[in-house]
Structure 1
Amino acid sequence: MGWRTGAVRGARAYGRPPARAAVTLCATALALTTPALLVHAAPVSATADGTRTPYAFARDARTVVGADGTTDAQRLDPGRTYRSTLPAAGKRYYRLELDSSADAYVSATAVPGAGAQVSSSDGLKLSVQDADGTICSTGTAHFGPTQSPHPITASASRETGPGTYGCRGAGVYYVVIERRGVTPTAPSSGDWDLELDYVFEPALRQPGATTPPGGWNSAPPEAVFGDATRRAGGAGFVGASAVGQGVWQDAFRPGQTLFYKVPVDWGQQLSATAELGSSTGGDGYVGTAVAMSLYNPVRAHVDDADAGYSGAQTSAALDPSAPVDYANRHAVGDRTGAMRFAGWYYLVVHLAASVTDRFGDGPFGLTLRVRVSGTPKSGPVYAGTSAPRDVFTVTAADREEAAAGASEGAGPGGGATGSGGPGGSTGSGEPKGGAAAGSGGPVRSGAGDGGKDESSGTMRLVAMGGIGTGSALVLWLALWTVVARWRARGRWAG
């Protein structure tokens, strides 16, 4: 507590009696500690000029400048998250250095600026290419029928397993990112911010199956009932709010996107429904008002669903996923092929900005019904360590975090107000996907909770406020003891 010592010395230097200096110091500490902690409990994502942005970037993201060509492309390191920008025209290049034994997955989340104009066909294209220009894989993402500017994510990979024919050798590879749907006559929406995520998956210790399992249950799942638990959504992948099986409730405004993450283990299936609550006013119809997308642990797209809105309650439901299995990567199509890892799966829910025109600026109620079915199975044995570490595992701490909603940064910045921050953990002290450690709690669904408000933001705010106030009170009592002793010695000058 060097600063406290310095403060006391400073008071003595100006000739104040030590006891009065102590009282002054305590009052100052009590006044300053709690507000400072409350500010930290509500992180806000903003640009350098203070303008609020619709996405909470990873706090530890490194800034990297995309090159105009391969010659000057900067290297990306596995297990890291980066921040960059993408102009309206031209491509941006980044470099990967890969051996011949591992798979590499790169995703890019593009974030248009506030007030950007986009169409349903506008979007993002990302590809991984080798040094000879061979395209290893390509991924695209578009704003879609909401025609609403919001974070969109595309991903691509370099894979080395059975069934792949090119891009298997060790060497230099390039990530190439560009805008889609931009024409010379289209209105410019300026540069887009980018969050790049790079995940490394080692090879298996022993060769695995090359045929995806079949015969899994794809019938609509049994509904998830029970009173909803409050859970504020995050404003980005890293700040996604952890949820498990159950009924979760939040609120958001038109144009806002909420991020949630669900632990899904090997052999398990995930299904989810997003319900948009009824409006208290307005009329008309919005063709695509609410859109929900599912992404896997490397932020690759799995599935999506959407629904229109007339002011009456409506819902968008994801079909049950395939059970998580390593061999799913050999399947045709994203819905099965992307269910290749255990880990955190992301539910991203967006409310179209056009809802404002018909029904006002809200906020509008959101109910998220999540089901994780199936008994967890043993996963494959990797020959090395993934980067980030344990990104393809589900730990007891992950399940506890999903039940308790302990994700740091899914706090007051989520929900109807805006941003988020880091969240999630491996439970072993190692960062998992760049996330901070969460806390534990008993596993439960929303049923039977009586609608108890367990928003991680509220709980974190209370906890941090309590810690701040408690620390100041301890300081007050300690220094008041000095005052009492000083009085007993007859040295109080008051």
Structure 2
Amino acid sequence: MAKTTGLIRAASALALVGALLVVTPVAYAEGNKPSADYAPMMLVLDASGSMTEADAGNGQTRMDAAKQAANTLIDELPAQAKVGLTTYGTGTGSTDAEKAAGCQDIQVLNEVGKVNKTALHDAVNGLNPRGYTPIGNALKKAAEALPDEGPRSIVLVSDGIDTCAPPPPCEVAQELAKQGVDMRIHTVGFQVDAQAREQLTCVAQATGGNYYDAADGNTLGGILPRVVDRALRDYEPRGIPVDGTAEPKNAPLLKAGQYLDSMKSPETKYYSVDVPKGARVYFTGTVVLPSATTDGYKYTTVGAIGPDGQDCLVAGDTALAGDGFEGFPVSTTAKVPLVDSSSCTQQEGRYTFSIERKEDALGGDEVRPVEIFVFVEPPLKKGGDSGPQAASSDGANNGKAEFVAPGGDPVAVTGGGSFADATALPGSGTYSDSLRDGETVFYKVNVDWGQALSYRITAGPNPNATGLDAMMSAGTILYTPLREDYDRNVSVMDSKTIAEVRPVSTTPVLYNNREAEGNPYVGPNSVAGDYYIGINTRRRFSETQPPISGEVPFKLEVSVAGEPVAAPEYVELEGSSFDTTSENAGGHERAKPSSALVWAGLVAGVVLVAGAGTTLLVLSRRRRR
């Protein structure tokens, strides 16, 4: 099954890249996977005169230790990271006569862009510490150098308090937060006193970031790469830009791939997809919410209208966020033609899909990004074996796998910030990570035909607060390979007790589970591929106060049970083609209404290999409001 599993992973990575990429299955099977995006980040390094102190350990000055730590993290940066470098204190001395100039001595040495490790190394190694510490002005300049929209971060390393205020650094951070800037500032205090620690902590808390304490050079070297990893993993929406229409007429025609729109609340938009004879289309709408999202319930509903105008999903497929699950993307899937239905069963032609977004009175009406994922599944070969019959939902656990702890010492991992950046886990095992207040991270686990997934989360206790302020939720949502919200659980921790989240499990993944697609436990598990585990922590009280600073540790235990079975054999869709033109691969062309039946690009979401069994990912769960 290795070949089938590899192709499943390849197809999943392809569809999630945020561009309409159409490649040959051979290239994909060999690992030619598209790269993920990362949230832009600006690193701000203190090069003030105090950094010349030789007290960092091992005979190093503070500047030497900071350079060593920075060079280490630069070596570890992903090739697709977008990182810049700002510094202060290198252009003047620290005498009283030089203060006016020294407080403006801030330089952006490397603009934020695709990482250039050589240039970053050269800039870091060339730092000569001499002057003042204008933290407030440096934060303003770093923020101005970052993109105007989307998740982004500043990581500040300083060995002392601002010596140039006004503006006070904490007020600068608070002002950025008040402006609605989707930015976090993480601060690292390097051998700082209590006053500087308080100031740097305030800066981080104002934007929902974290403060980290580094007592010596070795500690700084261990902390800084982790802080940068955390800064890079905020959710960054992606996809080919598309404008859905307010009415079904003239809805833009989409091929297989991923698209990006935006919607306010309440609002409904329409899109169309051509379904070839015998094929199925899976259409997922994902509303991306901010990590520290407000209270209230948020709904995403996906509907489908058949070629003859019939309503295929009477109440639509609805996903919900709220009540302990704030901050997760609100994601749901529609699939047509239907299997367990009296209409929209075996009809080819143009289907129109709708995405409806709405929130309750507490939820707000801000415009949010909406990712749209279109996936096409071809029919089985004539007379081909579809595999074992559908899983049974009988029994105490509704036919889902019983969780069995995998045992072993935890392996440290760092979760990704989105579906596309989800950290791949090798399978069964015990893993450890940590989360800041309001943060959501993602992992993916490949589940082959015939296998079932189960996992358990243990989080906390929360060491960063006391009393009611220490109460935090630890929640998880499991998404199918096409991001359908399958199941969820939540628990609560405080400063003394841990959150023991009840295990989440699936039934075995079988092609014939679609025969029971009305069953929420069985139907969604009808296509093998990467399942996505989302994990979130969030404070449960004092919602108007700043997020809790610091991190909460958690343990993730994963079990993949069952021996793989033979994959179903799909046919290659007649008339399909591999289109590798740069126009389709660039990811920036807007989808436009069209009257032509579009076949090219269907394989962007499906890898077709004759005689080898084939891959597709998905199945939706029907939720009624």
Distance 1:211 1:163, change over 3 A: farther
What's the counterpart of residue 434 of structure 2? Answer: 251
Report the alpha carbon displacement of residue 258 of structure 1 after superposing the two structures with TM. 0.7
Distance 1:116 1:291, change over 3 A: closer
Report the alpha carbon displacement of residue 113 of structure 1 after superposing the two structures with TM. 4.5
Report the alpha carbon displacement of residue 149 of structure 1 after superposing the two structures with TM. 3.7
Correspondence list, 1:306-321, <5 A: 306-311=490-495, 312-321=497-506
Deviations 1:259-282 (A, max 9, x none): 111010111111001111212241
Q: Secondary structure at the match of 2:522?
A: helix
Q: Is the 1:287–1:307 contact (alpha carbons within 8 Å) kept by the matching residues of 2?
A: no
CA distance in 1, matches of 2:251, 2:371: 17
Distance 1:91 1:305, change over 3 A: same
1:350 aligned onto 2:536: yes
Q: Is the 1:275–1:313 contact (alpha carbons within 8 Å) kept by the matching residues of 2?
A: yes
CA distance in 2, matches of 1:110, 1:360: 25
CA distance in 1, matches of 2:387, 2:412: 42
Q: Is the 2:287–2:370 contact (alpha carbons within 8 Å) kept by the matching residues of 1?
A: yes
1:360 aligned onto 2:548: yes
CA distance in 2, matches of 1:391, 1:234: 29
How many matched pairs? 361
What's the counterpart of residue 403 of structure 1? Answer: none
Which letter maps to 1:169? Q
2:508 to 323, 331, 336: 323
What's the counterpart of residue 559 of structure 2? Answer: 371
1:153 aligned onto 2:331: yes
Output the TM-score relative to the length of structure 2: 0.52
1:213 aligned onto 2:391: yes
Q: Is the 1:102–1:160 contact (alpha carbons within 8 Å) kept by the matching residues of 2?
A: no
Which letter maps to 1:352? R
Q: Secondary structure at the match of 2:323?
A: helix
CA distance in 2, matches of 1:220, 1:167: 34
Unaligned runs of 5+ in 2: 1-69, 84-112, 114-145, 153-181, 183-233, 574-602, 618-625
1:383 aligned onto 2:571: yes
What's the counterpart of residue 343 of structure 2? Answer: 165
Q: Secondary structure at the match of 1:327?
A: helix
What's the counterpart of residue 134 of structure 1? Answer: 310
Which letter maps to 1:269? A
Q: Is the 2:291–2:328 contact (alpha carbons within 8 Å) kept by the matching residues of 1?
A: no
Report the alpha carbon displacement of residue 320 of structure 1 after superposing the two structures with TM. 3.2
Report the alpha carbon displacement of residue 162 of structure 1 after superposing the two structures with TM. 7.1
Comparing 226-235 with 38-47, greater Cα deviation is found at 38-47
Comparing 288-297 with 256-265, greater Cα deviation is found at 288-297
Q: Is the 1:255–1:350 contact (alpha carbons within 8 Å) kept by the matching residues of 2?
A: yes
CA distance in 2, matches of 1:188, 1:321: 34
CA distance in 2, matches of 1:81, 1:198: 6
Q: Secondary structure at the match of 2:419?
A: coil
1:241 to 417, 423, 429: 423
1:222 aligned onto 2:408: no
Which letter maps to 2:440? T
What's the counterpart of residue 372 of structure 2? Answer: 196
Q: Secondary structure at the match of 2:521?
A: helix
Report the alpha carbon displacement of residue 346 of structure 1 after superposing the two structures with TM. 0.8
Q: Is the 1:201–1:387 contact (alpha carbons within 8 Å) kept by the matching residues of 2?
A: no
1:56 aligned onto 2:236: yes
Report the alpha carbon displacement of residue 173 of structure 1 after superposing the two structures with TM. 1.1
Report the alpha carbon displacement of residue 229 of structure 1 after superposing the two structures with TM. 0.9
Distance 1:47 1:171, change over 3 A: farther
Report the alpha carbon displacement of residue 293 of structure 1 after superposing the two structures with TM. 1.2
Deviations 1:378-418 (A, max 9, x none): 111112265423499xx9xxxxxxxxxxxxxxxxxxxxxxx
Q: Is the 1:88–1:182 contact (alpha carbons within 8 Å) kept by the matching residues of 2?
A: no
Q: Is the 2:492–2:498 contact (alpha carbons within 8 Å) kept by the matching residues of 1?
A: no
Deviations 1:289-337 (A, max 9, x none): 1211111112222211111223311221334321111111112422211
What's the counterpart of residue 273 of structure 2? Answer: 96
Report the alpha carbon displacement of residue 49 of structure 1 after superposing the two structures with TM. 3.5
Q: Is the 1:291–1:304 contact (alpha carbons within 8 Å) kept by the matching residues of 2?
A: yes
1:290 aligned onto 2:490: no
Q: Secondary structure at the match of 1:75?
A: coil
Which letter maps to 2:559? R
CA distance in 1, matches of 2:312, 2:604: 20
Distance 1:376 1:233, change over 3 A: same
Correspondence list, 1:416-455, <5 A: none
What's the counterpart of residue 85 of structure 1? Answer: 262
Output the TM-score relative to the length of structure 1: 0.65
Comparing 324-333 with 336-345, greater Cα deviation is found at 324-333
Q: Is the 2:291–2:439 contact (alpha carbons within 8 Å) kept by the matching residues of 1?
A: no
1:65 aligned onto 2:282: no
Q: Secondary structure at the match of 2:514?
A: helix
1:264 aligned onto 2:447: yes
Distance 1:382 1:237, change over 3 A: same
Q: Is the 1:297–1:346 contact (alpha carbons within 8 Å) kept by the matching residues of 2?
A: yes
CA distance in 1, matches of 2:483, 2:504: 19
Q: Is the 2:449–2:509 contact (alpha carbons within 8 Å) kept by the matching residues of 1?
A: yes
Which letter maps to 1:55? Y
What's the counterpart of residue 112 of structure 1? Answer: 289
Which letter maps to 2:317? G
Report the alpha carbon displacement of residue 245 of structure 1 after superposing the two structures with TM. 0.9
Unaligned runs of 5+ in 1: 1-30, 396-425, 434-494
Q: Is the 1:145–1:288 contact (alpha carbons within 8 Å) kept by the matching residues of 2?
A: no
CA distance in 2, matches of 1:112, 1:381: 38
Distance 1:388 1:380, change over 3 A: same
Q: Secondary structure at the match of 2:265?
A: coil
CA distance in 1, matches of 2:478, 2:363: 30
1:174 aligned onto 2:360: no
Q: Is the 1:55–1:151 contact (alpha carbons within 8 Å) kept by the matching residues of 2?
A: no
CA distance in 1, matches of 2:279, 2:271: 19
Q: Is the 2:289–2:328 contact (alpha carbons within 8 Å) kept by the matching residues of 1?
A: yes
Report the alpha carbon displacement of residue 159 of structure 1 after superposing the two structures with TM. 2.4
CA distance in 1, matches of 2:461, 2:340: 50
What's the counterpart of residue 232 of structure 1? Answer: 414
Which letter maps to 1:371? S
CA distance in 2, matches of 1:235, 1:62: 19
Report the alpha carbon displacement of residue 111 of structure 1 after superposing the two structures with TM. 1.5
Report the alpha carbon displacement of residue 287 of structure 1 after superposing the two structures with TM. 8.0
CA distance in 2, matches of 1:106, 1:68: 18
